[in-house]
Amino acid sequence: NPNKLVGYAYKWQDETAETLLLKIEWSASRTGLLNPVAVFEPVELEGTTVTRASLSNVTNVKRLQLRPGNRITVYKANKIIPQVDANLDMDGVLTYAESHPVFCPCCGKETIPVISKESVEVAVCENPECSAKHIKKFVHFASRDCLDIAGFSDATIEKFVNHGFIKEFADFFTLPWYKDEIIKMEGFGEKSFENLSAAAKAASHTTPSRLLYGLGIPNIGAANARMIAEACENKW
């Protein structure tokens, strides 16, 4: 029928590359969730060199039966996010120690397997004193989407937490108490301290939604924080 319109949708095929899996690296998050990352030999994808790809959870590690030394194929989802596509050397179900981080890489405490609300298996560190939980929550608080405190890199926050300068969120704004100690630290000085203090002072004037999101309350993401702030008419 010449009067009938027919539509076709075309999808570009993702560019894939074969490489060698070197290891699975686990990192602890501020919530205690341990995130697996595939580390592999460098490959070129979509014009850039790629060496790492998030695996998201234990379920994916087990599904792909990933072991160091396996030949894998990788691609960029939406031409941006590196992902493991397939394992070319799948050779049997993984043992618990192969698919899970038995001990937290940060505090050394034993981890536990948990089924998340998305029905996938994840590994969790339940130690409330795990340093990663403290450092990551402060990194989140200072990040661009939250209070956006310029100059506070992950490494800087880790140093300040380990030295006891930052123990709670409010400590970002009381750093002058530790000025003498900070300016003597390696990589810091009078100018660096002034820049950090000025950035913290500027960030102290923020919005309710940014502050709420920055507190890292479970299930309160950026969108929910905005909705709650708007429902409260953005009043403090």
Model pTM above 0.75: no
Q: Which residues pair with 38 in a beta bridge?
A: 24, 53
Q: What is the mean pLDDT of the chain?
A: 89
Q: Where are the alpha helices (DSSP H) in the chain?
A: 58-64, 96-99, 131-142, 154-162, 179-183, 190-203, 208-214, 222-231
| pLDDT tens digits along 89-115 | 998 999 999 999 999 988 889 999 999
Which amino acid does the sequence have at 28?
A
CA angle 192, 178, 164 (to 5 degrees): 105
pLDDT for the residue 134: 83
The pLDDT tens digits of the residues spanning 131-185 come to 888 888 999 999 999 999 999 998 899 888 878 888 889 999 999 999 998 998 8
Helix (H) or strand (E) holding 17: strand 16-28
Reported as a single tens digit per residue, the pLDDT across 183-219 is 988 788 899 999 999 999 999 999 999 999 999 988 8
